[in-house]
Amino acid sequence: MKTFSRFSLLLAGMITVAHAARKNVLLIAVDDLKPLIGAYGDPVAKTPNIDRLASRGLLFEHAYTNQALCAPSRNALLTGIRPGTLGIYNLEVNFRNAAPDAITLPQQFIRHGYRAEAIGKLYHTGHGNHDDVKSWSVPLTRPDAPPFALDENKPVRTGKEKPGQRVRGAAYESADVADDFYADGQIAKETVSRLEAAKGREDTPFFIAAGFQKPHLPFVAPKKYWDLYDPAQLKLAEFQEAPAGVPGPAFRRNGELRSYKGREDADSLSPDEQRRLLHGYYAAVSYADAQIGKVLDALDRLGLTESTIVVLWGDHGWHLGDHGLWAKMTNFEEAARIPFIISAPGVTKPGGKTEALAQTVDVYPTLLELAGVPAPDTTPELEGKSLVPVLKDPAAKVHDSVLHVVPNQGYIGRAIRTATHRFVEWKKPGEESLYELYDYDKDPQEKKNHVDDQPETVAELKKALAEYPEAKPQMAGKARAAGQGETPKQGGQDRSRLFRNRDKDGDGKLTAEEFLANQKDQATAPARLKKFDKDGDGILSREEFIKAGN
């Protein structure tokens, strides 16, 4: 018995040491962030905190999204599966419709003793899509913050909207408010709180994912971040035309920007308005950077920096006037290229840069290897490669090409990016395939489709593309599984959508007047309002309204 007790104590000590030695993971996801960052060589961007992270780890010069749209890119990050394999290219369909048994990145960490938490935007929620409860140890936390501070920028309903139609406010805002007035300031504050709590659970390693919403449209940021820039010094895109010889499906207009108030001119912006949008994007980038800085400061203050792998990842790029586009959702370089930085204590050397190709689906296997977590037996299988060889030796490479995709006009455009070229094949049932080829050594601004004047390269890259699986057609949507979504419903109604429809001024709250308007049961509705109003302030928050549907 005494021998057994000594063995048990020894084993317990070994387990404690093993747990203590495991690295934590901090995943920082940033919405619509392109490499408009000081560390990436942008001479204008004020991004001292992302630059600080780059000085601690390895910066990937040639990292690419697997699709330049929020939901598919985030599916790729968290499942390790490309959009073409899932057959999901839109915002509405949840990835578990295509892969119900997939083991997600945070889910695999949970299975191996980690506590996984998410704050802000990780999966795309909205448009009928929802979070994935299996991926987190505790429910996702999303801020309850208004999108605008100034009344003139808030959305205004005219009563002529179609049922369920979303009404947007202005495309940008500069308001003299505190950082935590907007969502990203609240996300930073909550992430710091989670790190402080994690510090007290030293026997449990953490996987904390913080998803910042800016610089996604609308370009809103506190005024002090706008004041960092002189708009006269901002350079507009040099080449604002479609590439010569571009096939029709490859090019799309600026529908997202056009949906914002007063932006009916999205396809013909004046130079002054282009500069204002560019100013807004830079301000929003600096605002997000400052929030990231608060999280990095907390890591340092809590003594967690040396025990934490930090990843900064942008879900996709964004066109800022190049090709005349103010959008994402293309296969062009400015939409597909992303910022990607990994700081892995004991593995990466400070201030490194690499030319090695990388793609979003590589994040999953890379973090597994860095943390010593085995790969899951998941269906479909992981499609990325571990980048640890590159982290150890920035001159190494693991890819000859990476793959991304965009659908348009009934076509699916699969693109491979090599160190020097991008080749795109557009396929549509019953139609002849269309092709694009861009040569970044000779034509970095994509002024011309070179498919006709480089036949040997086309033949070589056609062969390389054929080695990848064919892209599946877009999967039809299905009703979400009970309990799986993050937006409660009542009587088959989407409470989140109901809230948006009633929130006439877009301030993120319902006054009594907004709640009672057009209620079918005017006699009993006031009592229901009082019941829903948990804090008794006479106003319903989004959380109060949605939880009332449970």
> Token pair of 57, please?
């780890």
DSSP H or E run through 206: strand 206-212
221: left (phi over 0), alpha (psi -120 to 50) or beta: beta
- Any idea how long the chain is? 550
Of 31, 217, 221, 53, nearest in space to 142 by CA: 31
Task: Assess contact for 123 and 74: CB atoms under 8 A.
Answer: yes
Q: Please give the single-letter amino acid code of residue 524.
A: T
Query: Which candidate in 124, 130, 316, 319 is catalytic?
Result: 124
For residues 218 and 236, what is the distance between their CA atoms, to the nearest angstrom?
A: 19
Q: Is 64 helix (H, G, I), strand (E, B) or coil?
A: strand
Tell me the residue type at 476: A
Which value, to the nearest 10 degrees, does the dihedral of the CA atoms of residues 330, 335, 336, 342 take?
-160
Question: Distances from the Cα of 228 to the Cαs of 61, 174, 275, 277, 279, in angstroms?
Answer: 26, 12, 15, 15, 10
Alpha carbon distance, N-terminus to C-terminus of the chain: 53
In whole angstroms, give the CA distance from residue 424 to residue 408: 13
Q: Which residue in the list 19, 62, 70, 112 is annotated as catalytic?
A: 70
Distance of CA 341 to the CA centre of its chain: 15
In whole angstroms, give the CA distance from residue 41 to residue 348.
Answer: 20
Q: Distance between CA 326 and CA 255 in Å, rounded? A: 9
The answer to whether 47 and 30 are in contact (CB under 8 A) is: no
Kindly report the backbone phi and psi dihedral angles of residue 59, in degrees, each rounded to the nearest multiple of 5, phi listed first. -100, 130
Helix (H, G, I), strand (E, B) or coil at 117: strand
Enumerate the β-bridge partners of residue 211: 29, 120
Measured from the Cβ of residue 62, the count of other Cβ atoms closer than 10 Å reads 20
Q: What is the rounded CA–CA span in Å between residue 9 and residue 16?
A: 10
Among positive and negative, which fits the CA dihedral 92, 412, 83, 328?
A: negative
- DSSP conformation class of 40: G
Largest Cα span, the chain: 84
- How far lies 278's CA from each of 36, 39, 78, 269, 335, in Å? 11, 19, 30, 12, 15
**Catalytic residue check, 450:** no
Query: Pseudo-torsion of CA 195, 201, 203, 208, nearest 10°?
Result: -30
Cα 164 to chain centroid distance, Å, stands at: 24
Q: Known catalytic residue: 421?
A: no
Six-digit token pair at 197?
């709590």
- Which sequence positions are flagged as catalytic? 70, 124
